[in-house]
Amino acid sequence: MSSTARRYRPPAPLGGRPGARRAVRRRNLTALAFLAPALVILGLFVAWPMLSALRLSFTDASGFGREEFVGLDNYVTVFTDPDVRDAMLNTLWYTVLFTPSAVVVALLLALALNNPKLPFRAFFRTALFLPFVVSLAVAALAWSYLIDPHVGLLNHWLSGAGIRLGNVLEDPVLAMPAVALVAVWKNFGFYFVIFLAGLQDIPGSLYEAARVDGAGPWMRFTNVTIPLLSNTLAFVLIFAMIAALQAFDQIYVMTGGGPYGRTQTIVMEIYQSGFRRLEIGFASALSYVLLAVTLVLSIVQFVFFGRREKDSG
């Protein structure tokens, strides 16, 4: 073996050099310095309150006086209390009313406004998205006046056609559809934008090929649009269901949970238990049950998209 070969040493890995290690450490410290303010805020206003609520869920805390450890009693009450059961059923009914309506309206409008030949398309897109910018509480207040039986414009217009709705917010049957309608009006613009982005990712050549093969609008929709939009559709459905489980703002403003508890959702029950009846321990337990349901939906979404990406890969 030559002396040149004996003297040859392979270069050390980049991470093993002292200078490289210092550079990596410096980059990590720089990244941590930029992340530190956000991490501190998340720790103070998200992580710490969640841990405190978890601790309180095992006590009989009321916000005053001493707290006594009660174990799983609050969680047992969550699944046995008839008021909580009714709130869960009301939340389920609200989810059934809100989720399909918001998704279908958003999808139909996205299909209509995805046509490049449509005049004033940019104006309509902006106008449809604007309700999402409005606060839900403000939208609920405006709709309360709009459907008011005495001064509301909706009843005034319908009365010209001989239709009188009355006070729908005090009707046990119509109150929940009314508050769901407000949520649909407020949120469909967000889902509309997501659907529009998904539709624009579908190659136009696929529609041309389907048209050449003699496929009509319905066949193109069911065999091209829906399969290629399935990921977007699943995302919007799960996102809308999670939003429905957290319904509170418009219900608080429009009905306060009435009439006769027909619009009392889980979040309304949490609010009234914690801030009106001062049953903070019970409200914390109910909050964590709602968190668990939301987490399950998020996991379903994660697994679905992970499987779709693996299949497509």
| Angstrom distances, CA of residue 190 to CA of 123, 201, 235 | 16, 17, 12
Measured CA to CA, the distance from residue 229 to residue 223 in angstroms comes to 11
Q: What single DSSP character describes residue 8?
A: -
pLDDT tens for 31-64 read 999 999 999 999 999 899 999 999 999 999 888 8
Measured CA to CA, the distance from residue 160 to residue 292 in angstroms comes to 49
What is the fold of 83-312? MetI-like fold (1.10.3720)
Measured CA to CA, the distance from residue 110 to residue 204 in angstroms comes to 16
pLDDT tens for 55-99 read 999 999 888 888 889 989 999 999 999 999 999 999 999 999 999
Mean pLDDT of the chain: 86
pLDDT tens for 250-279 read 999 999 998 988 999 999 999 999 989 899
CB within 8 A of 208, min separation 6: which ones? none
Contact between residue 155 and residue 149 where contact means Cβ atoms under 8 Å apart? yes
Task: State pTM to two decimals.
Answer: 0.84
Where along the chain do its domains lie? 83-312
